[in-house]
Amino acid sequence: MLDTRHEYRALEEAILGVIGSMDKPSSPAGEAKQHFHNRLFGRSHATRELFRQRILAVTLDDLRRVAEQYLTPGQASTAVVTGVGQRETTTALREELGLVLQEL
Nearest by Cα to 103 from 83, 88, 89, 78: 83
What angle is formed at CA 62 by the lines to CA 58 and CA 64, rounded to 5 degrees?
Answer: 135
Determine the pLDDT at residue 77.
Answer: 81
Q: Per residue of the chain (104 residues), what is the pLDDT tens digit? A: 888 888 999 999 999 999 999 888 889 999 999 999 999 999 999 999 999 999 999 999 999 999 999 988 888 887 878 888 888 888 898 899 888 888 88
56: enclosing H helix or E strand = helix 45-56
Overall pTM > 0.85: no
**φ, ψ dihedrals at 17, nearest 5°:** -65, -40
In sign, the C-alpha dihedral spanning 36, 38, 39, 44 is: negative
Determine the pLDDT at residue 57.
Answer: 97
